[in-house]
Amino acid sequence: MPKTGGEASQGDRPAAARRQAAIGKNGRRGKRMGELANCPRCGRVFVRLPGQKVCPACAAEIEAEFERVYAFIRKKENRQATIYEVSDKTGVSVRQITEFIREGRIRIADHPNLAYPCERCGKALITEGRFCPSCKKELEEMTEQLKRALEARPEAGERYLQKKGRPPEKRP
């Protein structure tokens, strides 16, 4: 006849096992996630999880800013607003609004005047990418020139490295 004794100890075991499992899980997770990083927005140090760009406080602020911008441009009378007007009225920086557009959270197609300034000259307004056509052209030319200069004088780079590596010369 099987006895049903030892129930008390059986009752304890699952709890202990659960505790153990929890510790194991947390330990593993703790190892994988989180590296210390400086928040690029506020500069504070935070534990960055995969996929996180800014600290939780900044992420919450950015969400609040998005809500403000979105609430503003959603209104019919504001559909044609420029990025500067939106920034003025919502207190959200042109830079952050640009970020929303680039992330695809605000669609230029819905707001044709929401072009954002070129990252290089800051004057020309664009609807995609980072630079205006003329800056893009200049940057391409600069890259091309640099490439040509390096190709023409590959020894210049080598000489620089040699000089740096050489011990100081003794003078007679």
- Give contact residues for Zn ion (rule: CB under 5 A): 39, 41-42, 54-55, 58, 118, 120-121, 124, 132, 135
What's the chain's length in residues? Answer: 172
CA distance 11 to 154: 76
At closest approach, how far in Å is the CB of 72 from Zn ion?
24
Inter-residue contact 48 to 33 (CB < 8 Å): no
Nearer to Zn ion, 53 or 74 (CB): 53
Q: How would you class 92 by CB atoms within 10 Å of its CB: exposed for 0-12, middle for 13-18, buried for 19 or more? A: buried
Nearer to Zn ion, 17 or 139 (CB): 139
Query: Which helix H or strand E contains 117, and what residues bound it?
Result: strand 116-117
At closest approach, how far in Å is the CB of 32 from Zn ion?
23
Nearer to Zn ion, 72 or 131 (CB): 131
